[in-house]
């Protein structure tokens, strides 16, 4: 099966598209619905099904989800309703949509897509992808192999808060700081990650990667830093590839 629906569930929007998993290209437009608030499993399942119905799709669905995901179960809920913790994502979305659903962490999904079809192609060292959105997501690769659920957005940072509370896109709008001030903060975060992991390459994904040209001169690491080639579609593409492997 070459065309699979990938759905990237985020804290502010849920986006889907049919993906050609061989080429990693979207087959047509993507469709987005705002994440319901509160983002309970029931409400999110409704939004998820709306996307499946929009594409009039039957078959396996890949789902990138903004939490630790183990065996289809959400093990954390930083920016979504806390009732997700312990909930089987695949079961809840699968029953609502009538399709088999395969769920993985959203940043891991984006990372896999970038490694296969984007900036990670041919990179054989240590690659760290950071998605910058409502939260900070991470995907760590060594010799092309994913080490899943790394959660580096939750490194304890200044004043005992998580790094994502300090330098995600969500933090930037909440704290009303300029993009330039945000970039200085993000540079400090990248430098700390560099000290811990010595990556060869950082790939920046998520919504903020679109503005890379505006702040790239503020990022000063030894490792190369590049924006994700698939930009904000990486999560959708990686989710579809995950379903292709797991179905």
Strand partners of residue 203? 129, 226
CB of 209 to ligand BGC, least distance (A): 13
Least distance CB 105 / ligand BGC (angstroms): 5
Tell me the residue number closest to ligand BGC, measured at CB.
Answer: 135
We find the least distance from the C-beta atom of residue 123 to ligand BGC, in angstroms, to be 21
- Residue ranges that bind ligand BGC, judged by CB under 6 A: 66-68, 76, 78-79, 105-107, 131, 133, 135, 137, 151, 153-154, 164
CA–CA gap between residue 205 and residue 107 (Å, rounded)? 8
231's CB contacts (< 8 A; 6+ apart) are 205, 209, 210
- Toward ligand BGC, which CB reaches closer, 38 or 98? 38
What are the CB-based long-range contacts (under 8 Å, 24+) for 167-172?
167/136, 168/132, 168/133, 168/134, 168/135, 168/136, 169/132, 169/133, 169/134, 169/206, 169/207, 169/208, 170/11, 170/79, 170/133, 170/134, 170/135
- Smallest distance from the beta carbon of 80 to ligand BGC, in angstroms? 9
The continuous run of DSSP H or E covering 127 comes out as strand 126-132
CA distances, 93 to each of 13, 52, 99, 242 (Å) = 16, 10, 8, 16
Q: Provide, rounded to whole angstroms, the least separation between the CB of residue 230 and ligand BGC.
A: 16
Cβ within 8 Å of residue 159, ≥6 positions away: none
Name which of 97 and 105 has its Cβ closer to ligand BGC. Answer: 105
Nearest alpha-carbon partner for 127 in 193, 231, 201, 209: 201
The residue (of 43 and 57) whose beta carbon lies closer to ligand BGC is: 43
**Toward ligand BGC, which CB reaches closer, 64 or 94?**
64
Give 170 or 199: the residue with its C-beta nearer to ligand BGC: 170
Smaller CB distance to ligand BGC: residue 151 or 208? 151
CB of 57 to ligand BGC, least distance (A): 24
């Amino acid at each position: 099966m070459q065309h699979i629906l990938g759905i990237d569930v985020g804290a502010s929007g849920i986006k889907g598209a049919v993906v050609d998993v061989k080429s990693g290209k979207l087959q047509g437009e993507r469709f987005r619905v705002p994440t319901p608030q509160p983002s309970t499993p029931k409400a999110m399942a409704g939004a998820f099904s709306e996307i499946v119905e929009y594409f009039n799709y039957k078959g396996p669905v890949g789902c990138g989800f903004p939490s630790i995901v183990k065996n289809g179960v959400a093990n954390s809920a930083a920016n979504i309703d806390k009732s997700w913790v312990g909930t089987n994502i695949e079961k809840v979305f699968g029953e609502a949509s009538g399709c088999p659903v395969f769920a993985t962490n959203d940043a891991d999904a984006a990372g896999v897509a970038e490694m296969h079809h984007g900036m990670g192609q041919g990179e054989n060292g240590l690659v760290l992808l950071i998605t910058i959105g409502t939260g900070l997501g991470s995907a760590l690769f060594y010799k092309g192999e994913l080490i899943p659920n790394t959660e580096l957005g939750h490194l304890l940072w200044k004043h005992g808060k998580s790094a994502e509370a300090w330098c995600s896109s969500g933090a930037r709008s909440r704290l009303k700081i300029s993009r330039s001030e945000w970039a200085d903060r993000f540079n400090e975060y990248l430098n700390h990650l560099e000290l811990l992991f010595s990556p060869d390459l950082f790939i920046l994904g998520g919504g903020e990667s679109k503005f890379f040209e505006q702040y790239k001169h503020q990022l000063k690491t030894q490792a190369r830093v590049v924006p994700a080639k698939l930009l904000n579609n990486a999560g959708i593409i990686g989710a579809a590839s995950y379903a292709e492997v797991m179905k």
